[in-house]
Structure 1
């Protein structure tokens, strides 16, 4: 699993990755509670692949061609591109930074991960 347990200090990461992570955290601050819940579901899908359907998976099945994506959808696409390019330590660092910003949110994330135990 790519995420570390609470309280562990992450290793240093690259400047570019740090800027990407700060960007996502900035977006996070401006998101509504509904958008944060969607992000949590997406983050959960990245932490335990195959156990939940991510938001982008759901959106891609809609296949609405006459409507441009909204800003939140664009942010999630960038987030996914960046996340996929990060190594384990960088992913852990992001979760650590998110925890500093919103400890309750990350606690809910860990609880949700634990809730997937035993699912196929």
Structure 2
């Protein structure tokens, strides 16, 4: 039996402003700049599978505990950002999700 549906925590004002700023930049980026942004998003979404040189340095630590509340809040903020980005450019976000799915089974 499923429990009650939990409403997402409200996003902070500062985070919302930062996300709006990035979305504003995104509108003016070229296809090549958007592709670079996509690669950065992938590196953050699946850091153990898709990573740039800089990202790989931050993924060397081993985590053997459950995520803390801060990490959970960051995930909610990321999901909110992807939702806002999808409203602006659904094809880009679709391409992002296909790229994430394409990492399945990779080490």
2:85 to 95, 98, 118: 98
Separation in 1, partners of 2:86, 2:49: 23
Number of residue pairs aligned between Structure 1 and Structure 2: 85
Structure 1 unaligned spans of 5+: 1-8, 59-83
Q: How does 1:1-120 map to 2 (within 5 A)?
A: 11-54=9-52, 57=54, 87-120=74-107
Q: Give the 4+ runs in structure 1 shifted more than 3 A.
A: none
Q: TM-score, normalised by structure 1?
A: 0.64
Q: TM-score, normalised by structure 2?
A: 0.72
| Higher CA-based Rg | 2
**Which fold has the larger relative contact order, with Cα–Cα distance below 8 Å and residues 6 or more apart in sequence?**
1
RMSD: 2.1
Structure 2 unaligned spans of 5+: 1-6, 56-70
